[in-house]
Structure 1
Amino acid sequence: MKAFIENDILYIDKEDLPQYQKGKSIVRNNYFWALKSISDYTPMNGNWEFASEVWVALSRMLLFFTNSGYLGYRETMLEFSDDTLIPDVLRSISTKL
């Protein structure tokens, strides 16, 4: 998931967010609701925002879904640009583009 950080807010690109699909995969829908539940702001057609206070929870949640084997790395790893300094708390679930 493409991500960037501004003013201690992590943004996940709206194009890479999981989609809720009624009657579809339970794992993907649980992933959608789990992410949404710890996000600070989730506009319908915008990037989701995560304050630094929830980054530990976000890291643990992304690691859990990554290790479950039901979702691919591109769906559960944060992708940052090469010039981004990745905070320690997010390093285990992050990669560079």
Structure 2
Amino acid sequence: MRVKIENEVLFIHREDVPKYNKQGSIVRNSYFWALRSIAGRANSRYDWEFESEVWLALQRMLISFAESGYLPTQETQLEFASETEEIPKVLRLVSTIIS
């Protein structure tokens, strides 16, 4: 998931957020609701926002869903742009840098 950090807020690109589908997978829908439950803003018209206070919970959630084996890596990994100064320590286990 493409992300950026501005003013201690992590933004997940709105096109990369998991989609809720009433007829969809239970795991994917649970993932959607879990992410939404800790987001400061979760609206399909905007990037989803996660304040720094929830980054540890976000990290644990991403690791848990990644370990389930039901979701591909690109849906459970935070992708920072190469010009990112530094990935916060609490998010390093679930992050990568893309070019």
TM over 0.5: yes
Counterpart of 1:24 in structure 2 is 24
Aligned-partner SS, 2:79 = strand
By how many angstroms is 1:66 displaced?
0.4
Q: How does 1:68-87 map to 2 (within 5 A)?
A: 68-84=68-84, 85-87=86-88
Counterpart CA distance in 1 for 2:44 and 2:65 is: 23
By how many angstroms is 1:6 displaced?
0.1
By how many angstroms is 1:24 displaced?
1.2
Aligned-partner SS, 1:16 = coil
Q: How does 1:80-95 map to 2 (within 5 A)?
A: 80-84=80-84, 85-95=86-96
RMSD over aligned Cα, in angstroms?
Answer: 0.6
Worse-superposed segment, 37-46 or 8-17: 37-46
- The letter of the residue matching 2:90 is V
By how many angstroms is 1:77 displaced?
0.1
Aligned-partner SS, 2:15 = helix
1:50-69 alpha-carbon deviations (Å, 9 max, x no partner):
00000000000000000110
By how many angstroms is 1:2 displaced?
0.1
Worse-superposed segment, 25-34 or 37-46: 37-46
Where do 5+ consecutive residues of structure 1 fail to align? none
Counterpart CA distance in 2 for 1:44 and 1:33 is: 13
Counterpart CA distance in 1 for 2:20 and 2:37 is: 13
Report percent identity of matched pairs: 55
- The letter of the residue matching 1:93 is V
Where do 5+ consecutive residues of structure 2 fail to align? none
TM-score, length basis structure 1: 0.98
TM-score, length basis structure 2: 0.96
Counterpart of 1:3 in structure 2 is 3
